[in-house]
Amino acid sequence: MLAAISIASVAALVLGACGDDDDEGGAAATTAAPAPDTTAAAGGGGGGGGDTAKGGIPEGGTEVTISGDLATWKGKTAGIANLAPVPGAERWSKPLQACLEANGATVDYQDVGGDPTKLTAILEGWLNAGTNAVFNIGIDMSGQDSLIAGFTEAKVPFVTWGAGNPAGVVALDANQEEDGRIIGQWVADEIGGAGAVVLVNANNPALQSREAGIKEVFANYPDIELTVVGEALGFSEESAQKSTEAALQANPEVKAVIGGFGSLGLGAATAVEAAGSDAIVASMNGDPDEYAAIRAGGAFKATVADGHEFGGEAACKIAADMLAGNPQPGTPGVPIFATSVLVTADNVPAEGEIESTPRKFYQLL
């Protein structure tokens, strides 16, 4: 994670997807207790090698079962630390909060407004108050090792999304590199495997992982010429628009522009349309504004939906199961990834709806 910046920029620091292939019914649903073995070998059924653009697990992935008795939450307390009041964070934290409260928990919801330095005091307060479970969406965990150890000693589940993988937490996240592969392959197919492509990106670990995935795909297409532009902390639509305008002036024959994050794709689309370019635009995250841009039928054509909403519900189940005395799912210390879905005009959600393909969870062991 980067240091605190403006809320408009901090949206780009929350990246990821999540979901539960066992439950499409919403946060209030309950499930049976899990089987002792929470992993399934890759291959066949829910194993690796599926179509990752349609919510499949990539080759080499081992599926992780997410389940738990949500009735466990009755009378319990939970703390949610939210990075900022932006879709990239709230698409995870709000479904989580709804699940907790619908099942009888009392929730202390703390938004740090993009300032990770506020996290220490929040965690200290929850630890001293005996809070039963703790969740963190996207806030840098650097320097929190002793507090995390305190929660571990107190047997308090600590579940995170997009916040790194320090010892003692259950780390959920999207496979950002795989997201890059998904959108990279779609772009390569759309432009016939040849032509100039611009990637608008910023200096963030998740976005850099997405860039690596795109480059891996394009390495198979020698006739694709990739140019990477953008500002180190340029996460806003305005920054992406400026970078894309310069790239189009340098090469009016650009066939596609990819935004490393939703806002970057939206800003790129504004620049493409203003220039009268025929370039197609795509991005990654799956926020409502991206869906709206696809429905509008302009330059913006595709995104990768990380399924944050499913992840919030999954976190609710994971912590409930741990509170019931069961071990965390999967292999401890290894991040649990959620599958993603490519969204185009063919499957874009209607206004106010989410991309509802059931997500699977997996680890790369």
Q: What's the pLDDT at 138?
A: 87
Number of other CB atoms surrounding residue 90 within 10 Å: 22
∠ Cα 171 184 358 (to 5°): 45
Q: What's the pLDDT at 158?
A: 98
- Indicate the DSSP class of residue 144: -
Q: Does the residue 262 lie in any domain?
A: yes
Do 284 and 333 lie in one domain? The reply is no
Q: Does the residue 150 lie in any domain?
A: yes
Do 248 and 266 lie in one domain? The reply is yes
Q: What's the pLDDT at 47?
A: 60
Q: What is the pTM of this model?
A: 0.84
Q: Does the residue 2 lie in any domain?
A: no
Token representation of residue 41: 């070998």
Do 248 and 143 lie in one domain? The reply is no
Do 104 and 196 lie in one domain? The reply is no
Look-up of token digits 């032509």? 195
Do 21 and 164 lie in one domain? The reply is yes
Q: What's the pLDDT at 164?
A: 85
* Local confidence pLDDT in tens for the 365 residues of the chain: 333 333 344 444 444 333 333 333 333 333 333 333 444 443 333 466 789 999 999 999 999 999 999 999 999 999 999 988 878 789 999 999 999 999 999 999 999 988 999 999 999 999 999 999 999 998 889 899 999 999 999 999 999 998 888 999 999 999 999 999 999 999 999 999 999 999 999 887 788 999 999 999 999 999 999 999 998 878 889 999 999 999 999 999 999 999 999 999 999 999 999 999 999 999 999 999 999 999 999 999 999 999 888 999 999 999 999 999 999 999 999 999 999 999 999 999 999 999 999 999 999 99
Are 323 and 72 within 8 A, CB to CB?
yes
Do 161 and 209 lie in one domain? The reply is no
Q: Is 259 helix (H, G, I), strand (E, B) or coil?
A: strand
* Burial class of 198 by CB neighbour count within 10 A (0 to 12, 13 to 18, 19+): buried
Q: What's the pLDDT at 276?
A: 98
Q: Is 31 helix (H, G, I), strand (E, B) or coil?
A: coil
CATH at residue 153: 3.40.50.2300
Which positions ≥6 away from 231 have C-beta within 8 Å? 202, 239, 243
Report the distance separating Cα 170 and Cα 158, nearest Å. Answer: 6
Largest Cα–Cα separation, the chain? 61
Which positions ≥6 away from 195 have C-beta within 8 Å? 223, 224, 225, 253, 254, 255, 256
Our count of domains for the chain comes to 2
Do 209 and 325 lie in one domain? The reply is no
Amino acid at 176: Q
Q: Does the residue 204 lie in any domain?
A: yes
Do 266 and 192 lie in one domain? The reply is yes
Token representation of residue 271: 């620049």
Q: Does the residue 228 lie in any domain?
A: yes
Number of other CB atoms surrounding residue 117 within 10 Å: 12
Interior/surface letters 257-284, b for 16+ CB within 10 angstroms, e for the rest:
bbbbbbbbbbbbbbbbeebebebbbbbb
Q: Does the residue 220 lie in any domain?
A: yes
Q: Does the residue 113 lie in any domain?
A: yes
What angle do helix axes 237-250 and 262-275 make, rounded to 10 degrees?
Answer: 40
Do 146 and 197 lie in one domain? The reply is no
Which residues, listed in sequence order, are joined to residue 343 by a DSSP beta bridge? 303
Which H or E run contains 171? strand 170-174
Do 118 and 32 lie in one domain? The reply is yes
Are 300 and 137 within 8 A, CB to CB?
no
283 φψ region: left (φ > 0), alpha (ψ -120 to 50), beta (else): beta
| CA distances for 65 relative to 76, 149, 216, 327, angstroms | 24, 26, 29, 12
Do 90 and 185 lie in one domain? The reply is no
Are 227 and 168 within 8 A, CB to CB?
no
Token representation of residue 6: 């403006």
Report the distance separating Cα 357 and Cα 336, nearest Å. Answer: 18
In terms of Cα–Cα distance, which of 95, 81, 84 is closest to 13? 84
104: domain range?
7-49+56-175+307-339+356-364
Q: Does the residue 107 lie in any domain?
A: yes
Domain endpoint, select from 262, 283, 305: 305
Do 259 and 110 lie in one domain? The reply is no
